[in-house]
Amino acid sequence: MKSSFVLLAALVGLAVATPTLPVKKRQVTLEGNPFQGRTLHANGRYRQEVEAAAGNLTDPSLQEAALKVADVGTFLWLDTISTIESFESYLTETGENEIFGVVIYDLPGRDCAAKASNGELAVGEIDRYKSEYIDPIAAIIEAHPDIAIAAVIEPEQQSAAGYREGVQYALSSLNFPNVAMYIDAGHGGWLGWDANLQPGAQELAAAYTGAGSPSSVRGFATNVAGWNAVQQVPGEFENAPDGQYNKAQDEDRYVTLFGAALAAAGMPNNAIVDTGRDGVTGLRDEWGDWCNVNGAGFGMRPTTSTVNSLMDAYVWVKPGGESDGTSDTSAARYDSFCGNPDAFKPSPEAGTWNQAYFEMLLKNANPPF
C-alpha cells in the first residue's frame, strides 16, 4: 500500500513539473485574391460607433438599417501610435473565414501637412515612424499568423516627405504570409491625369522594389475615403474643360490604366476599391473636393464580384460617419476644403463621429439597406 502512495505522489509530481507546451497557431498563407472565399471582418471599433448611432435613432426602420451597417466589413485605421494599443484586441475577433482590414497611416508630414488630417509625426521623424509605429504593428501581426490580413499602406501620401523610405520600411516589415498589402494610389482624379499616370506608378514601384519586392504586396488601393464611382459614363468631370487630359474618369478606367503603368514599372497590379461612400455622385463642385461631401450615401458593399479582372474586391476602407475634418473656421485644424459649398456642415474634427452625416449616408445608401 505504501508503495502505491509513493508511486501516486511521483506521478502527481511529474504532472505538476511537466511544462505546458504552447499551442502552435496554424499558419495562414495568402495566395491569389485574398478576399476570395473570405468575408471582410466587421471590426469592433466601427461596430461600436454604429450601434451607438443606431441607439440615437427614433425611426424604427432607419434604426434597423443602421444595425445592418454594423455588420458590414470595414477597415480599422491605425492613424496614431496610440491606436496600436487596441489593434490586437480587435484583430483577434476575426473569424476563420474572414479577413481583417487595417490601414497603415502615420507617415511623418502626413497628407502634406494638410490641417484636417495632419499627423503626429513631423517631417524628419522617420526613425520614430519605424520604431514606435511600424515595429509594434509588425510584432502584433507576427504573433497572429492564423489571421488573414489586408493592409492599405499610407493613403494619400505620395508627396509626403520620406514617403519612399517610410513605405519601403512598412512593406518589408509587414511582409508576412498571412498579409496582403495594397499601396495606396489615390484615385482617378489625382494620379489618373495623363501627366501623372507613369510618374505615379513609378513612385509606387520604386518603393516596392526598394523594399526587396515583398511577396505580400498584392497591388494598389484606390478611392480610399473617396467619392468616385466605379463605373460612370460620362464620368463626373469628363466634360470639364480639362477632361480631355484625364482618361481615368471612373475607378474602373483608372484601375485599368494605372494597373498597366504599374505592371510596366515592375510591380503587382491587383487592386481594391473603396466604395464605402460613393453611392451618390455628381455632388462635388471640383474633382479635388474631398471633405465631408454633402449628399453622399453609402455605396456597394464589400464583394469580390467586380467589373474589372484587376480588382480583387470592393471594400469599405473609410468608416462612414467619421468626419474628414472640422467645418469650424476658428479651429486650429480647420482646412478650407471642409468649408467649401459642397461640404457638409457642421462637421467635427477628423475622425470624430458625426451622427447627422451618418444618418445622411444611411438614407442615401445605394443600394439601400
Among 3-17, 181-195, 256-270, the least confident range: 3-17
316 annotated to bind ligand: no
Number of helices (H) and strands (E) in the chain: give both, helices first.
Answer: 11, 8
Q: Which residues contact 338 (CB under 8 A, 6 or more apart)?
A: 116, 291, 292, 324, 325, 326, 327, 347
Q: For residue 162, what pLDDT is reported? A: 82
What is the pLDDT of the chain when averaged over all its residues? 93
Query: Percent of the chain beyond pLDDT 70?
Result: 90
Q: Is 289 annotated as a binding residue?
A: no
The larger pLDDT score, comparing residue 157 to residue 182, is at: 182
Q: Which domains are delineated in the chain?
A: 28-363 (3.20.20.40)
The predicted-structure confidence for 19-35, as pLDDT tens digits, reads as follows 555 566 799 999 999 99
Cell of 104: 497603415
Rg (CA), the chain: 23
Q: Is the pLDDT of residue 188 over 90?
A: yes
Give the mean pLDDT of 199-228.
Answer: 98
190 is an annotated ligand-binding site residue: yes
Q: Which residues of 41-79 are buried (b: 16+ CB within 10 A; e: fewer)?
A: bbbebbbebbeebbeebeeeeeeebbbebbebbbbbbbb
Cell readout for 352 is: 470624430
Q: Is 353 annotated for ligand binding?
A: no
Per the structure block, which three cell numbers stand in for 261?
503603368
* Contacts with 75 (C-beta within 8 Å, 6 or more apart), sequence order: 43, 101, 102, 103, 150, 152, 315, 316, 317, 318, 319
What residue type is 230 in one-letter code? Answer: V
Catalytic amino acids?
Answer: 111, 324
End-to-end Cα, the chain, rounded Å? 74
C-alpha grid cell for residue 130? 519605424
Long-range pairs for 153-156: beta carbons < 8 A, 24 or more residues apart: 153/104, 153/181, 153/182, 153/183, 153/184, 153/221, 154/104, 154/105, 154/107, 154/183, 154/184, 155/103, 155/105, 155/184, 155/221, 155/224, 155/225, 155/317, 156/111, 156/117, 156/184, 156/186, 156/224, 156/225
Statement: residue 257 has pLDDT above 60: yes
132 appears as a binding residue in the annotation = no
Residue 186 has phi, psi (to 5 degrees) of: 60, -130
pLDDT digits (tens, 9 = 90+) for 35-75: 999 999 999 999 999 999 999 999 999 999 999 999 999 99
Cell numbers describing residue 79: 492613424
